[in-house]
């Protein structure tokens, strides 16, 4: 071994060495996790396993930057005292202690994972919070897994030894140029830390979560192999774990609200193509034909093409989103899963085994695809669609022409929808395709050549909404000339509503009101029914319309069928909103906050809480049934039919 003097290196080289050291140890932890649990994963090739290891680096970097944020700041401070031996000794043990905790949590999941089939999250403490013999449990755990304890001690010992393998070389002088250069490095270092924690630098990139691991696997059951335990603990700290409920016995629960769909098998399956068109921020307020009662019948709206589509489609009087964010929409529309207590794809249960309309239709020979003009990876859509069983993803990368880039979010809707039409034309029928628009989004711009071409209403979003409406018109004009068009069921909806202007939409119901249209060219599928319908109803409605013949789980209902127990539910900021018949009940899940008659009191000025006991009891009963079905199925990972 070389003597110590030959191991003196530059300050920043030593820092990088120590970060790569702990990153390497995390990779070893992932290998150890797999070695202990290989029988629970279906890894059938070295290439697949290598891709999982590659994906895991992204989550390791994020976790390690969170864990070592204080250490990194202390090391990057551009002052001479950072070379002091005492100062460096303190930093050393801060680094060792915090990272040892991270290593310990990874090791725990080596043996704890088979009991939960997921990485440990922040709800771990609540699971054992009422155990009075927790100390005894820990002792028993250490005795039972003594070999793991020895391996852990050996790992930490090697970690400490390797930390000191290189020593920091002190500069002979530390004058103003040193301060200037190191100050720049400090600022750049902080910026890189933020990028690493978030998992990307793009404007459209959300901080990565456990759901993003789906990008690197073929099955939700493999997500835990991509993740690391410290990352899961950090990301789940702010998310409350659901609690199992037992309001009703199983028979009573299913009589009120049954989420297992048993289709009618007496009719032959109809192999129609299915195209979902999910329009960014398309609140129902913007569609004139759905608001003929507003402004004494003079309200025109901002979407003339969608107005024409309404007249040739089937819709409902009251249609709602299940969430208020784009990230809530895809699980609701494609998998029939609403977001409760935060977006489903970001939550503690995003790794659950789920179904989707794409997975179910693929069993019938459907080719499946998703189109979104943003940079691939935006909003985590590619991860979600991959887990949802969608074969092809077409984003900004596949479009491959930055001349049509809007400069912020992605490709303008008009050219991207034309690209989509042409790409769909290459698919073998039958197919399922979903499109998510992006141009009707802040900062609410339209292409230069269209400035002044669309009405500018009181809301900034309404001009780009007119642009997207025009893009839809051109898409349908192109698609109508293609051979697959007349054999296609189109479903148009919004991802969520947005800012509102009219008082009728500045209410709880108004904040979630969106259009939901079912359009089958040349068919008798036209009209409007007095009914409450939501995004999670789309999947079962389409499947039943096609006469899909296998049971499946979805939290919505077939909107074309009459059921006295039908209700709509959305959740935001800790409040459940349940719509049934003419009434809207808002509750925190335990106590009712308000009850309104939406038919006679559209502006929600007369709170009927405790004034209509029979109505309130009925809505509270259905809310309890929803909470029990949702919570218990999430906790028990029962979102599919085995």
Q: What is the pLDDT of residues 576-602, one digit of tens each?
A: 999 999 999 998 888 888 999 999 999
Lowest mean pLDDT among 94-108, 145-159, 198-212, 484-498: 198-212
Flag whether pLDDT at 450 surpasses 80: yes
The confidence band for 379, taking pLDDT boundaries of 50, 70 and 90, is confident
Topology at the third CATH level for domain 250-257+269-635: Alkaline Phosphatase, subunit A (3.40.720)
Reading the block at residue 14, the tokens are 């030593």
**pLDDT of amino acid 131:** 46
Concatenating the DSSP letter of every residue in 471-520 gives HHHHHHHHHTTSTTGGGEEEEEEES------SGGGSSHHHHHB--EEEE-
Q: What is the pLDDT of residues 162-197, one digit of tens each?
A: 999 988 888 777 777 878 888 999 999 899 998 888
Which whole number is the average pLDDT over 285-291? 95
pLDDT tens digit string along 290-327? 999 999 888 999 999 999 999 999 999 999 999 888 88
How high is the pLDDT of residue 217? 79
Instruction: Report the share of the chain in percent with pLDDT over 70.
Output: 94
What one-character-per-residue DSSP string does 521-568 give? TTSS--EEEEEEEEGGGHHHHHHHHTT--S-EE-SS--TTS--TT--E
Cis amide linkage into residue 430, ω under 30° from 0:
yes
Query: What is the per-residue pLDDT for 328?
Result: 87
CA–CA gap between residue 381 and residue 404 (Å, rounded): 21
CA distances from 171 to 81, 186, 456, 496 (A): 12, 18, 63, 58
Inform me whether the pLDDT recorded for 138 exceeds 80: no
Give pLDDT, residue 132: 52
**Residue % of the chain over a pLDDT of 90:** 67
pLDDT value of position 182: 86
- Averaging pLDDT over each range in 255-264, 443-452, 617-626, which range is the top one? 617-626
pLDDT, residue 130, reads 45
Instruction: Indicate if the pLDDT at residue 457 is higher than 80.
Output: yes
pLDDT tens profile 234-272? 887 766 678 899 999 999 999 999 999 998 888 999 999
Give me the residues paired with residue 371 across strands. 394, 435
Angle between the N-to-C axes of helices 85-116 and 11-37, in degrees from 0 to 180, rounded to the nearest 10: 20
- The confidence score (pLDDT) of residue 451 equals 93
Q: What is the DSSP string of 116-148?
A: HSS---TTHHHHSTT-TTHHHHHHHHHHHTHHH
CA 404 to chain centre: 27
The reported pLDDT for the residue numbered 1 is 43
Query: What is the pLDDT, as a whole number, of residue 571?
Result: 86
Cα–Cα dist 104/416, whole Å? 48
Query: In the predicted model, what is the mean pLDDT of the chain?
Result: 90
User: Residue 127 pLDDT more than 60?
Assistant: no
Q: Which residue has the higher pLDDT, 542 or 341?
A: 542
> Structure pTM?
0.78
SS3 347: coil
Write out pLDDT tens, residues 509-532: 998 999 999 999 999 999 999 999
Question: What pLDDT band is residue 2 in, cutting at 50, 70 and 90?
Answer: very low
- The residue among 354 and 128 whose pLDDT is bigger is 354
Q: What is the pLDDT of residues 368-377, one digit of tens each?
A: 999 999 988 8
Question: Mean pLDDT throughout 394-412?
Answer: 93
Of 470 and 145, the structure prediction assigns the larger pLDDT to 470
Distant-in-sequence, close-in-space partners of 99: CB < 8 Å, separation ≥ 6: 22, 25, 64, 67, 68, 159
The pLDDT assigned to 433 comes to 98
pLDDT bin (cut points 50, 70, 90) of residue 117 is: low
- What is the three-class DSSP state of 96? helix
- Structural domain boundaries in the chain: 4-236, 250-257+269-635
| pLDDT at residue 4 is higher than 60 | no
The dihedral sign for the CA sequence 252, 255, 256, 262 = positive
User: What DSSP letter does each residue of 197-235 carry, written as one string?
Assistant: HHT--STTPPPP-GGGGGGG-SSGGGHHHHS-HHHHHHH
């Amino acid at each position: 071994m070389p003597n110590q003097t030959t191991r003196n290196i530059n300050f920043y080289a030593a820092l990088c060495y120590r970060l790569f050291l702990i990153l390497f140890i995390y990779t070893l932890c992932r290998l150890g996790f797999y070695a202990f649990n290989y029988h629970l994963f279906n890894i059938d090739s070295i290439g697949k396993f290598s891709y999982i290891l590659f994906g895991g680096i992204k989550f390791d970097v994020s976790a390690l930057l969170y864990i070592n944020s204080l250490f990194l700041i202390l090391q990057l401070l551009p002052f001479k005292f950072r070379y002091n031996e005492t100062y460096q000794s303190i930093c050393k043990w801060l680094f060792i202690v915090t990272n040892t905790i991270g290593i310990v949590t990874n090791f725990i999941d080596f043996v704890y994972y088979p009991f939960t089939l997921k990485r440990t999250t922040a709800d771990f403490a609540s699971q054992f919070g009422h155990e009075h013999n927790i100390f005894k449990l820990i002792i028993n755990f250490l005795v039972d897994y003594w070999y793991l304890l020895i391996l852990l001690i050996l790992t930490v010992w090697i970690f400490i030894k390797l930390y000191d393998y290189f020593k920091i070389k002190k500069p002979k002088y530390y004058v103003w140029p040193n301060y200037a250069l190191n100050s720049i490095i400090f600022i750049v270092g902080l910026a890189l830390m933020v990028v690493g924690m978030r998992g990307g630098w793009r404007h459209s990139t959300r901080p990565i979560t456990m759901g993003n691991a789906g990008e690197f696997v073929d099955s939700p059951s493999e997500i835990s192999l991509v993740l690391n335990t410290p990352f899961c603990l950090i990301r789940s700290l702010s998310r409350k774990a659901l609690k199992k409920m037992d309001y009703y016995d199983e028979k009573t629960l299913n009589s009120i609200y049954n989420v297992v769909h048993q289709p009618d098998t007496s009719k032959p399956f109809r192999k129609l193509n299915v195209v979902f068109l999910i329009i960014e921020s398309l609140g129902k307020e913007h569609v004139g034909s759905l608001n003929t009662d507003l402004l004494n019948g003079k309200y025109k709206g901002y979407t003339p093409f969608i107005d024409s589509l309404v007249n040739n489609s089937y819709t409902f009087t009251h249609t709602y989103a299940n969430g208020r964010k784009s990230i809530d929409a895809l699980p609701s529309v494609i998998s029939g899963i609403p977001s409760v207590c935060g977006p489903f794809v970001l939550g503690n249960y995003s790794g659950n085994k789920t179904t989707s309309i794409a997975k179910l239709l693929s069993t019938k020979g459907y080719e499946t695809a998703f189109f979104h003009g943003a940079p691939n990876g935006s909003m985590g859509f590619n991860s979600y669609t991959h887990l949802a069983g969608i074969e092809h993803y077409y984003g900004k990368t596949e479009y491959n022409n930055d001349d049509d880039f809007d400069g912020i979010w992605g490709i303008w809707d008009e050219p991207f929808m034309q690209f989509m039409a042409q790409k769909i034309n290459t698919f073998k029928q039958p197919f399922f395709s979903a499109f998510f628009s992006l141009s009707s989004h802040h900062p609410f711009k339209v292409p230069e050549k269209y400035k002044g071409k669309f009405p500018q209403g009181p809301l900034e979003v309404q001009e780009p909404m007119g642009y997207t409406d025009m893009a839809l018109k051109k898409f349908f004009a192109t698609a109508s000339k293609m051979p697959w068009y007349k054999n296609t069921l189109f479903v148009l909806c919004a991802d969520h509503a947005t800012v509102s202007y009219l008082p009728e939409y500045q209410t709880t119901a108004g904040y979630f009101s969106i259009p939901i249209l079912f359009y089958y060219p040349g068919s008798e599928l036209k009209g409007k029914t007095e009914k409450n319908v939501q995004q999670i109803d789309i999947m079962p409605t389409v499947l039943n319309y096609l006469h899909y013949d296998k049971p499946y789980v979805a939290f919505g209902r077939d909107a074309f069928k009459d059921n006295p127990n039908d209700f709509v539910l959305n959740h935001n900021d800790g409040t459940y909103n349940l719509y049934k018949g003419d009434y809207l009940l808002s509750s925190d899940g335990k106590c009712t906050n308000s009850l309104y008659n939406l038919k006679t009191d559209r502006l929600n000025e007369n709170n009927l809480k405790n004034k209509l006991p029979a109505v309130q009891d009925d809505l509270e009963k259905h809310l309890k049934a929803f909470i029990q079905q949702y919570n218990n199925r999430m906790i028990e990972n029962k979102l599919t039919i085995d």
